[in-house]
Chains A and B, each alone.
Chain A
Protein backbone atom coordinates (compact mmCIF):
# COMPACT_ATOMS: atom_id res chain seq x y z
CA UNK A 1 0.00 0.00 0.00
CA UNK A 2 1.33 3.43 -0.98
CA UNK A 3 2.19 5.98 1.71
CA UNK A 4 0.22 9.22 1.94
CA UNK A 5 3.30 11.21 0.86
CA UNK A 6 3.64 9.14 -2.32
CA UNK A 7 -0.02 9.62 -3.19
CA UNK A 8 0.27 13.36 -2.59
CA UNK A 9 3.28 13.69 -4.90
CA UNK A 10 1.49 11.60 -7.58
CA UNK A 11 -1.63 13.74 -7.28
CA UNK A 12 0.38 16.97 -7.50
CA UNK A 13 2.90 16.10 -10.21
CA UNK A 14 0.65 13.99 -12.47
CA UNK A 15 -2.65 15.67 -11.56
CA UNK A 16 -3.78 12.14 -10.71
CA UNK A 17 -7.40 12.22 -9.52
CA UNK A 18 -7.29 8.51 -8.59
CA UNK A 19 -4.37 9.09 -6.19
CA UNK A 20 -6.30 11.93 -4.57
CA UNK A 21 -9.39 9.70 -4.44
CA UNK A 22 -7.39 7.14 -2.49
CA UNK A 23 -6.33 9.84 -0.01
CA UNK A 24 -9.98 10.85 0.40
CA UNK A 25 -10.99 7.21 0.98
CA UNK A 26 -8.36 6.90 3.71
CA UNK A 27 -9.14 10.09 5.59
CA UNK A 28 -12.80 10.94 4.93
CA UNK A 29 -13.96 9.32 8.16
CA UNK A 30 -11.58 11.39 10.33
CA UNK A 31 -12.42 14.64 8.54
CA UNK A 32 -16.19 14.06 8.62
CA UNK A 33 -16.08 13.01 12.27
CA UNK A 34 -14.06 16.12 13.12
CA UNK A 35 -16.50 18.42 11.32
CA UNK A 36 -19.54 16.64 12.77
CA UNK A 37 -18.21 17.10 16.29
CA UNK A 38 -17.30 20.70 15.58
CA UNK A 39 -20.62 21.76 14.06
CA UNK A 40 -23.08 19.29 15.60
CA UNK A 41 -24.93 19.22 12.29
CA UNK A 42 -24.31 16.03 10.31
CA UNK A 43 -25.62 17.27 6.96
CA UNK A 44 -23.81 20.61 7.15
CA UNK A 45 -20.65 18.80 8.29
CA UNK A 46 -20.73 16.50 5.26
CA UNK A 47 -21.18 19.48 2.93
CA UNK A 48 -18.25 21.16 4.64
CA UNK A 49 -16.21 17.97 4.25
CA UNK A 50 -16.82 18.08 0.48
CA UNK A 51 -15.68 21.71 0.37
CA UNK A 52 -12.71 20.82 2.53
CA UNK A 53 -11.51 18.09 0.15
CA UNK A 54 -11.95 20.38 -2.86
CA UNK A 55 -9.89 23.06 -1.10
CA UNK A 56 -7.34 20.38 -0.23
CA UNK A 57 -7.11 19.43 -3.92
CA UNK A 58 -6.48 23.06 -4.86
CA UNK A 59 -3.89 23.56 -2.12
CA UNK A 60 -2.27 20.12 -2.25
CA UNK A 61 0.99 21.54 -3.64
CA UNK A 62 1.41 23.54 -0.40
CA UNK A 63 1.67 20.33 1.69
CA UNK A 64 5.37 20.21 2.45
CA UNK A 65 5.48 16.64 3.77
CA UNK A 66 6.46 17.83 7.26
CA UNK A 67 4.03 16.35 9.77
CA UNK A 68 1.20 13.93 9.07
CA UNK A 69 -1.12 14.36 6.11
CA UNK A 70 -4.19 14.05 8.36
CA UNK A 71 -2.85 16.97 10.45
CA UNK A 72 -2.62 19.09 7.30
CA UNK A 73 -6.07 17.92 6.17
CA UNK A 74 -7.63 18.85 9.52
CA UNK A 75 -6.05 22.28 9.21
CA UNK A 76 -7.85 22.69 5.85
CA UNK A 77 -11.07 21.37 7.44
CA UNK A 78 -10.83 23.82 10.36
CA UNK A 79 -10.18 26.74 7.99
CA UNK A 80 -13.15 25.67 5.83
CA UNK A 81 -15.32 25.49 8.95
CA UNK A 82 -14.27 28.97 10.13
CA UNK A 83 -14.82 30.44 6.66
CA UNK A 84 -18.31 28.98 6.51
CA UNK A 85 -19.06 30.35 10.01
CA UNK A 86 -17.93 33.81 8.92
CA UNK A 87 -20.11 33.59 5.81
CA UNK A 88 -23.20 32.56 7.75
CA UNK A 89 -22.50 35.28 10.32
CA UNK A 90 -22.35 37.90 7.56
CA UNK A 91 -25.57 36.45 6.09
CA UNK A 92 -27.25 36.69 9.50
CA UNK A 93 -26.09 40.29 9.86
CA UNK A 94 -27.55 41.18 6.45
CA UNK A 95 -30.83 39.49 7.39
CA UNK A 96 -30.89 41.44 10.64
CA UNK A 97 -30.28 44.68 8.79
CA UNK A 98 -33.27 44.04 6.55
CA UNK A 99 -35.38 43.20 9.58
CA UNK A 100 -35.48 39.41 9.55
CA UNK A 101 -35.21 37.60 12.85
CA UNK A 102 -32.53 34.93 12.76
CA UNK A 103 -31.18 32.35 15.14
CA UNK A 104 -28.17 31.48 13.04
CA UNK A 105 -25.78 33.92 14.67
CA UNK A 106 -26.62 33.14 18.26
CA UNK A 107 -26.60 29.39 17.66
CA UNK A 108 -23.54 27.79 19.19
CA UNK A 109 -23.47 24.04 19.18
CA UNK A 110 -26.79 22.44 18.31
CA UNK A 111 -26.97 18.70 17.97
CA UNK A 112 -29.17 17.46 15.17
CA UNK A 113 -28.73 13.78 15.81
CA UNK A 114 -31.60 11.60 16.98
CA UNK A 115 -29.97 10.85 20.30
CA UNK A 116 -27.93 13.29 22.39
CA UNK A 117 -24.82 11.49 23.64
CA UNK A 118 -22.60 12.34 26.59
CA UNK A 119 -20.01 13.60 24.17
CA UNK A 120 -22.56 16.04 22.73
CA UNK A 121 -23.19 17.34 26.25
CA UNK A 122 -19.44 17.75 26.84
CA UNK A 123 -18.96 19.54 23.54
CA UNK A 124 -21.88 21.87 24.28
CA UNK A 125 -20.12 23.38 27.31
CA UNK A 126 -16.97 24.14 25.33
CA UNK A 127 -16.29 27.21 23.23
CA UNK A 128 -15.74 26.74 19.50
CA UNK A 129 -11.98 27.05 19.88
CA UNK A 130 -11.86 24.60 22.80
CA UNK A 131 -14.06 22.17 20.87
CA UNK A 132 -11.75 22.21 17.87
CA UNK A 133 -8.62 21.71 19.94
CA UNK A 134 -10.14 19.01 22.19
CA UNK A 135 -11.51 17.07 19.22
CA UNK A 136 -8.16 17.27 17.40
CA UNK A 137 -6.39 16.05 20.50
CA UNK A 138 -8.71 13.38 21.89
CA UNK A 139 -10.70 12.22 18.85
CA UNK A 140 -8.10 12.57 16.09
CA UNK A 141 -4.98 11.88 18.17
CA UNK A 142 -3.02 14.89 16.92
CA UNK A 143 0.04 16.00 18.88
CA UNK A 144 0.18 19.46 20.44
CA UNK A 145 2.58 20.54 17.68
CA UNK A 146 0.21 19.32 14.95
CA UNK A 147 -2.74 21.10 16.63
CA UNK A 148 -0.64 24.23 16.88
CA UNK A 149 0.06 24.08 13.12
CA UNK A 150 -3.56 23.30 12.27
CA UNK A 151 -5.06 26.11 14.35
CA UNK A 152 -2.21 28.62 13.99
CA UNK A 153 -1.95 28.88 17.79
CA UNK A 154 1.30 28.75 19.75
CA UNK A 155 1.90 25.37 21.48
CA UNK A 156 1.53 27.05 24.89
CA UNK A 157 -1.92 28.32 23.93
CA UNK A 158 -2.93 24.85 22.69
CA UNK A 159 -1.93 23.37 26.04
CA UNK A 160 -3.84 26.01 27.99
CA UNK A 161 -6.93 25.58 25.78
CA UNK A 162 -6.85 21.82 26.47
CA UNK A 163 -6.38 22.48 30.17
CA UNK A 164 -9.33 24.92 30.16
CA UNK A 165 -11.52 22.48 28.22
CA UNK A 166 -10.75 19.66 30.63
CA UNK A 167 -11.45 21.96 33.54
CA UNK A 168 -14.87 22.87 32.09
CA UNK A 169 -15.76 19.22 31.53
CA UNK A 170 -14.58 18.34 35.03
CA UNK A 171 -16.66 21.17 36.57
CA UNK A 172 -19.83 20.33 34.65
CA UNK A 173 -19.70 16.53 34.65
CA UNK A 174 -18.39 13.64 36.61
CA UNK A 175 -16.73 12.08 33.59
CA UNK A 176 -15.95 8.81 35.33
CA UNK A 177 -19.66 8.02 35.43
CA UNK A 178 -20.29 8.67 31.76
CA UNK A 179 -20.70 6.21 28.95
CA UNK A 180 -18.64 6.37 25.77
CA UNK A 181 -19.69 9.02 23.22
Chain B
Protein backbone atom coordinates (compact mmCIF):
# COMPACT_ATOMS: atom_id res chain seq x y z
CA UNK B 1 0.00 0.00 0.00
CA UNK B 2 2.75 2.42 1.05
CA UNK B 3 4.82 1.62 -2.04
CA UNK B 4 1.75 2.20 -4.25
CA UNK B 5 1.34 5.64 -2.73
CA UNK B 6 5.07 6.34 -3.30
CA UNK B 7 4.78 5.18 -6.94
CA UNK B 8 1.72 7.37 -7.48
CA UNK B 9 3.52 10.35 -5.94
CA UNK B 10 6.44 9.71 -8.29
CA UNK B 11 4.12 9.68 -11.28
CA UNK B 12 2.67 13.04 -10.39
CA UNK B 13 5.28 15.00 -12.26
CA UNK B 14 5.21 18.72 -12.56
CA UNK B 15 6.01 20.75 -15.68
CA UNK B 16 9.62 21.11 -14.69
CA UNK B 17 10.03 17.33 -14.45
CA UNK B 18 8.47 16.87 -17.89
CA UNK B 19 10.75 19.55 -19.30
CA UNK B 20 13.81 17.91 -17.77
CA UNK B 21 12.70 14.56 -19.20
CA UNK B 22 12.54 16.05 -22.67
CA UNK B 23 15.93 17.73 -22.18
CA UNK B 24 17.55 14.52 -20.98
CA UNK B 25 15.96 12.44 -23.74
CA UNK B 26 18.27 11.43 -26.55
CA UNK B 27 17.94 9.49 -29.77
CA UNK B 28 18.48 5.72 -29.51
CA UNK B 29 22.00 4.64 -30.38
CA UNK B 30 22.18 2.31 -33.39
CA UNK B 31 23.47 -1.15 -32.60
CA UNK B 32 26.00 -1.23 -35.49
CA UNK B 33 27.30 -4.66 -34.58
CA UNK B 34 27.73 -3.86 -30.88
CA UNK B 35 25.53 -6.71 -29.64
CA UNK B 36 27.07 -9.17 -32.13
CA UNK B 37 30.50 -8.25 -30.79
CA UNK B 38 29.41 -8.85 -27.18
CA UNK B 39 27.78 -12.16 -28.18
CA UNK B 40 31.04 -13.24 -29.84
CA UNK B 41 33.03 -12.32 -26.74
CA UNK B 42 30.61 -14.31 -24.58
CA UNK B 43 30.85 -17.36 -26.89
CA UNK B 44 34.65 -17.13 -26.84
CA UNK B 45 34.64 -16.95 -23.02
CA UNK B 46 32.30 -19.96 -22.81
CA UNK B 47 34.51 -21.95 -25.18
CA UNK B 48 37.62 -21.04 -23.19
CA UNK B 49 35.97 -22.07 -19.91
CA UNK B 50 34.92 -25.40 -21.42
CA UNK B 51 38.43 -26.03 -22.73
CA UNK B 52 40.29 -25.11 -19.53
CA UNK B 53 39.49 -28.30 -17.58
CA UNK B 54 40.35 -30.90 -20.26
CA UNK B 55 43.47 -28.98 -21.30
CA UNK B 56 44.57 -28.59 -17.68
CA UNK B 57 43.94 -32.31 -17.07
CA UNK B 58 45.99 -33.22 -20.16
CA UNK B 59 48.87 -30.91 -19.22
CA UNK B 60 48.74 -32.23 -15.65
CA UNK B 61 48.82 -35.82 -16.90
CA UNK B 62 51.82 -35.08 -19.14
CA UNK B 63 53.69 -33.30 -16.33
CA UNK B 64 52.87 -35.92 -13.72
CA UNK B 65 53.49 -38.95 -15.95
CA UNK B 66 57.10 -39.52 -14.86
CA UNK B 67 56.57 -38.97 -11.09
CA UNK B 68 53.41 -41.09 -11.30
CA UNK B 69 55.29 -43.94 -12.94
CA UNK B 70 57.85 -43.71 -10.11
CA UNK B 71 55.05 -43.78 -7.57
CA UNK B 72 53.57 -46.90 -9.14
CA UNK B 73 56.94 -48.65 -9.02
CA UNK B 74 57.37 -47.59 -5.41
CA UNK B 75 53.90 -48.88 -4.50
CA UNK B 76 54.65 -52.13 -6.28
CA UNK B 77 57.80 -52.40 -4.16
CA UNK B 78 55.75 -51.78 -1.02
CA UNK B 79 53.60 -54.82 -1.70
CA UNK B 80 56.68 -57.00 -1.18
CA UNK B 81 56.90 -55.64 2.39
CA UNK B 82 53.48 -57.03 3.24
CA UNK B 83 53.90 -60.46 4.89
CA UNK B 84 53.32 -63.21 2.33
CA UNK B 85 50.90 -64.96 4.68
CA UNK B 86 48.59 -61.98 4.64
CA UNK B 87 48.76 -61.64 0.87
CA UNK B 88 48.51 -65.34 0.18
CA UNK B 89 45.03 -65.94 1.49
CA UNK B 90 43.30 -63.09 -0.41
CA UNK B 91 45.47 -63.69 -3.49
CA UNK B 92 44.14 -67.16 -3.62
CA UNK B 93 40.62 -65.79 -3.63
CA UNK B 94 41.31 -62.86 -6.00
CA UNK B 95 44.54 -63.45 -7.95
CA UNK B 96 44.99 -59.82 -9.12
CA UNK B 97 44.46 -58.27 -5.68
CA UNK B 98 47.73 -56.24 -5.57
CA UNK B 99 46.98 -54.87 -9.05
CA UNK B 100 43.43 -53.96 -8.03
CA UNK B 101 44.73 -52.27 -4.89
CA UNK B 102 47.14 -50.13 -6.91
CA UNK B 103 44.43 -49.31 -9.47
CA UNK B 104 42.07 -48.15 -6.73
CA UNK B 105 44.80 -45.95 -5.22
CA UNK B 106 45.53 -44.37 -8.62
CA UNK B 107 41.83 -43.81 -9.34
CA UNK B 108 41.36 -42.11 -5.97
CA UNK B 109 44.36 -39.86 -6.64
CA UNK B 110 43.11 -38.96 -10.13
CA UNK B 111 39.65 -38.10 -8.78
CA UNK B 112 41.14 -35.93 -6.06
CA UNK B 113 43.35 -34.21 -8.65
CA UNK B 114 40.40 -33.55 -10.99
CA UNK B 115 38.32 -32.17 -8.14
CA UNK B 116 41.14 -29.84 -7.15
CA UNK B 117 41.42 -28.69 -10.79
CA UNK B 118 37.67 -28.07 -11.02
CA UNK B 119 37.75 -25.98 -7.84
Q: Give the B-binding residues of A (Cβ under 8 A).
A: 15, 17-18, 20-21, 24-25, 28-29, 32-33, 36-37, 46, 49-50, 53-54, 57, 118-119, 122, 134-135, 138-139, 141, 143-145, 166, 169-170, 175-176, 178, 180-181
Residue B26 at the chain A interface, CB threshold 8 Å: yes
Interface positions of B from 17 to 37, Cβ below 8 Å from A: 17, 19-26, 28-29, 31, 34-37
**Mask for B34-66, Cβ within 8 A of A = 1, else 0?**
111111011101100000000000000000000
Given A29-B28, A144-B6, CB of A54 within 8 Å of CB of B23: no
Docked-complex contact B23 and A119, CB < 8 angstroms: yes
Smallest beta-carbon distance A155→chain B, Å: 8
Docked-complex contact A15 and B46, CB < 8 angstroms: yes
Docked-complex contact A21 and B24, CB < 8 angstroms: no
Return the contact of B25 from the options A54, A118, A139, A175 (Cβ within 8 A).
A139
Residues of B within 8 A of A141 (CB): 21
Docked-complex contact A24 and B29, CB < 8 angstroms: no
Residues of A within 8 A of B37 (CB): 50
Residue B7 at the chain A interface, CB threshold 8 Å: yes
Q: Can you give 19 contacting A-B residue pairs, CB < 8 Å? A: A15-B46, A24-B34, A28-B38, A36-B29, A37-B26, A53-B38, A54-B38, A54-B45, A57-B42, A119-B24, A119-B26, A144-B10, A145-B6, A166-B20, A169-B20, A175-B23, A178-B23, A180-B22, A181-B23
Smallest beta-carbon distance A176→chain B, Å: 7
Residues of A within 8 A of B10 (CB): 143-144
Docked-complex contact B19 and A175, CB < 8 angstroms: yes
